[in-house]
A and B are shown apart, each in its own frame.
Chain A
């Protein structure tokens, strides 16, 4: 009991201390408090995680009765089972590393304490999201991480563009949240509970198919908001306005995987709705390909990684869409390792370049930054799917499921993976190879980052390399540890091993590997061999320009949704609000005040009148009662 409270409340304590004391704390102390609280949570997470690995039973705790009305009772409950423990490890583990990293990265920022306060608050809400034993607690966390994301994207609030990015993220997420809410209400209305266990029991005996379909569809809409899928993905690339550790923690490793977590958590519902799963698979695959193509044309180091994240999340959703929840979760874990490493690496580069993010102004950095380069390269190899790094195993598993279920989506996903390898190595070659293209000043400044930054990089890159061992494919004849571990929460899907056979599996792996190497070679030839540079802004034409401008989706949304909405709201303001609503409000207010003024006159201070009023009241009551009696 106590350890569970500690697990959740430590980050909150960190937030309160850092938030309330603020600049009264020295930066060193603030960083230590921020990191130590997360370390504490991480250690407790480890306890629970290894307990569960060792076969301990899941822990479920009812903290208090929360909402009670009619026949509906919602508890504030905590559930630590295999699924939440897995996420706990990712959230607190990577969270801790990124806190350490931030002590170095944010060192010269005047908002240092505020930054740690937000970061701790984020971890607190993320823990609630992961640990809730019902949708409502999860939703608190869900909203809370959205809030923290908003606060951290707009962390440098003096820049209006950053504020706009923060607002955009918030609004897009709210659209998704509406879906989440509607999904919850459908479930609550029909099953009178939002407990995961309660729902599981409620649908076990069979449930109305339409209800499940609509509920899961709306929940999925919620997931597309938080996890940046078509059509709500546009906020994530803009969210890179936040400090780089934030991009690594929130917009790559943890928060954006909340949608996947939610679907894994509610897998018993989604399995009952094959139509929803089909939609998820298609949306996921489309997002994966779409974002990957945009990633190819971006020149901002963080934007490339952002689109890559959208694309990788798409792959995870595709896996979920095939009912392969474990594969989705597996990719979440490995992706967390290498994408966090990549983002932190890009942060290290940006740090060294004095804030420059355009890869056209970089080049040859491996000379100055060997550790950053090495870790970045390893993580890039991992995300590209080069065996035997972690990304290879998790991505291969998803592709295998795709091949089994739907050959078209398999082709789409394979092309997305090919593009991933290409744009990642385009990034690597342009940044770290060739000669330096920045200003003389910047070159003078180049240096390897301090320990606090490189240490997390090294740890994450090691994890990115070896992370695959938790999910070895059937061909190795080893147990798939993760699916074994998650089996109590996610019933194992029947692997295609028997039908497809080992040779087919090996063939798929071979294709994936060849594609990855081909893409890397292509990028090498183009950017190292021919030393091609991406065109300067405004020089692109045709398709290149369309892709570079992200297919003008933002502009389309502006035209199709934002502008009409603004026009409608303008009308609502001038006509509905100013005339109708204000009219009613003002006049009812005036009426009340006028009546009040009249009533006030009665209170004259004349005691004779008071007594008269009293007697009149008595007489009135008597008249009423005497008529009533007859």
Chain B
């Protein structure tokens, strides 16, 4: 778990660089440092599950794998922030340090083994995001987004805290292992069940599942695009992993009732997310609803909770993260050039910037689950696990909505390839955007051809 320590230091170091007026080198320094931390993170891979700080955190394969994914995502986001904040250079280091702190929250979320750590991780992540959502201070929409996010988020935090308290009241412990012991014992107190439900609801809010999703589209649309990218990737993946970790360790024995709730929620999420995305004409809003729908697919993995589903979930998050990150990289650079967030802004991209158009097409197809791209296997594994655990009805909904989703992904693809733009000049985007899109493209293609490249994390969270 050295990654968490180093990342925290890195966040502070950013602020120090600012003090010494070394703003220019902050982006490369942070990216390189993050990659170094990534390396350090994987030196612990496949070791036995080690606990830290009186079992507050636990480094097992699950935690390390997700930590790795989060670090890569954060590195990509930081790399893009250099040219994204080019109008607000003076605050660049601040923003980057907030991004790094968000990563800290994320790492805590995927490796906690104590409820206190879960709460701290979630709050660090959320508060950083509230700040970032409002980081375009003069933009009224950015302010609105931050405000909405904060209001709804604090509501959810309250519910989470309440739930944790109730669980503590019943079990007398914050420790996941202790709670699991209690949960598997005889005579579970109703208070405990109520507590678990409140935690469940809070987690559903964080992953923007229906009917707790309402914040997502508004916040995604209003926030600066880079923050939107962060919410869609880093924050969603971290919350989803925390959700899985919590339930797979502590509540797995009381799960049958919750699985039913989750299957209804997952089905609703997929339906509402995909159907609402159909009519969107804003790129960011479309991706927000698509992100809600993807949360529904990921819930399938949590719903069919057992050993292998961690693998399915991890594969899904990897495929989804890279496709989203790549799509945002190109999306941001196009939206910035054309000064519009509408899908029409992508008209004619196929002619003016063929590489970007090809890459974005691949990302969209991967999200739609078209073989042989990563997204296809992601869906395949998740569906496969769900069928194995007798959730056929939800999988049918998932397949149908997945077919529906092709419509809106193709809306963007058609705009790029079949429509002409009025604007003739098409300067290429910043090099960092193109590089990130290229990396995401390679990963998306490679995982589609060789899905076995993603390591198995079968040594699931500690028991």
- Chain A interfacial positions (CB closer than 8 Å to B): 64-65, 68, 589, 592-593, 595-597, 599-600, 602-603, 605, 607, 609-611, 613-614, 616-618, 621-622, 624-625, 628-629
Contacts and interface: CB of A to CB of B under 8 A. Distances in A.
A600 B197 CA distance: 28
Contacts of B205: 614
A609 B214 CA distance: 9
B257 A625 contact: yes
A599 B275 contact: yes
B214 A610 contact: yes
A592 B214 contact: no
Contact of A64 (B148, B152, B214, B450): B450
Contact of A597 (B148, B193, B257, B279): B279
Nearest to A69: B384
B383 to A, nearest CB: 13
Contact of A592 (B190, B212, B257, B404): B404
Interface string B259-287: 01100000000001001111110000000
Contacts of A617: 201, 211-212
B9 interface: no
Contact of A599 (B261, B272, B404): B272
Interface in B174-224: 190, 193-194, 197, 200-201, 205, 211-212, 214-215, 217-218
A624 B256 CA distance: 13
Contacts of B148: 607, 610
19 contacts: A64-B450, A68-B452, A589-B407, A593-B278, A593-B279, A599-B275, A599-B276, A603-B217, A609-B214, A610-B148, A610-B152, A617-B201, A621-B197, A621-B201, A622-B194, A622-B197, A624-B260, A625-B197, A625-B261
Contacts of A595: 275
Nearest to B257: A628
Contacts of A607: 148, 151-152
A597 B279 CA distance: 6
Interface string B239-262: 000000000000000000100110
Contacts of B200: 621
Given A607-B148, A607-B151, A629-B190, A614 B211 contact: yes
B277 A613 contact: no
B275 A596 contact: yes
Contact of A614 (B155, B194, B261, B452): B155
Contacts of B193: 625, 629
B117 to A, nearest CB: 25
Interface in B267-312: 272, 275-280
A599 to B, nearest CB: 5
A589 B278 CA distance: 10
Contact of B211 (A592, A616, A622, A629): A616
State the majority secondary structure of interface residues on B.
helix
Nearest to A65: B452
Contacts, number: 71
A358 to B, nearest CB: 47
A251 B307 CA distance: 54
Given A592-B407, A616-B211, 4 more contacts: A68-B452, A614-B212, A621-B201, A625-B197
Interface in B336-354: none
Contacts of B211: 613-614, 616-617
A613 B211 CA distance: 7
A600 B450 contact: no
A614 B155 CA distance: 10
Given A607-B148, A622-B197, A600 B279 contact: yes
A37 B279 CA distance: 53
B214 A613 contact: yes
A295 to B, nearest CB: 45
Contacts of A614: 152, 155, 205, 211-212, 214
Nearest to B198: A618
B210 to A, nearest CB: 8
Among B214, B279, B404, B450, the one with the most A-chain Cβ atoms within 10 Å of its Cβ is B214
Nearest to B147: A607
Given A603-B217, A603-B276, A618 B201 contact: yes
A596 B280 CA distance: 9
Nearest to A592: B404
Given A592-B278, A595-B275, A603 B257 contact: no
Contacts of B279: 593, 596-597, 600
A589 B404 CA distance: 8
Contacts of A629: 190, 193, 257
B19 to A, nearest CB: 38
A621 B272 CA distance: 18
A40 to B, nearest CB: 26
Interface string B417-454: 00000000000000000000000000000000010100
Given A618-B201, A624-B261, A625-B197, A596 B215 contact: no
Contacts of A616: 211
B311 to A, nearest CB: 14
Nearest to B452: A65
B333 to A, nearest CB: 26
A600 B214 contact: no
B430 to A, nearest CB: 26
Cβ-closest 8 pairs across A and B: A610-B214, A596-B278, A617-B211, A596-B275, A599-B276, A596-B279, A613-B211, A595-B275
A141 B201 CA distance: 54
Among B190, B194, B205, B275, the one with the most A-chain Cβ atoms within 10 Å of its Cβ is B275
A596 B408 CA distance: 11
A52 B130 CA distance: 70
B280 to A, nearest CB: 8
Nearest to B384: A69
Nearest to B404: A592
Contacts of B272: 599
Contacts of A602: 214
A609 B212 CA distance: 11
Interface in B117-157: 148, 151-152, 155
B261 A596 contact: no
A597 B151 CA distance: 27
A418 B389 CA distance: 69
Contacts of A599: 272, 275-276
A616 B214 CA distance: 13
Contacts of B152: 607, 610-611, 614
Contacts of B404: 592
Contact of B214 (A603, A618, A624): A603
Among A64, A600, A616, A622, the one with the most B-chain Cβ atoms within 10 Å of its Cβ is A600
A328 B152 CA distance: 78
Contacts of B257: 625, 628-629
A595 B401 CA distance: 13
A602 B289 CA distance: 13
B155 A611 contact: yes
B261 A621 contact: yes
Nearest to B256: A628
Given A64-B450, A65-B452, A625-B261, A592 B275 contact: yes
A628 B215 CA distance: 30
Contacts of A597: 279
A629 B194 CA distance: 11
Nearest to B188: A629
A558 B217 CA distance: 58
B279 to A, nearest CB: 5
A616 B210 CA distance: 11
A318 B310 CA distance: 57
B282 to A, nearest CB: 12
A120 to B, nearest CB: 22
B450 to A, nearest CB: 7
Contacts of A600: 276, 279-280
A381 B452 CA distance: 56
B27 to A, nearest CB: 34
A308 to B, nearest CB: 42
B260 to A, nearest CB: 8
A590 to B, nearest CB: 11
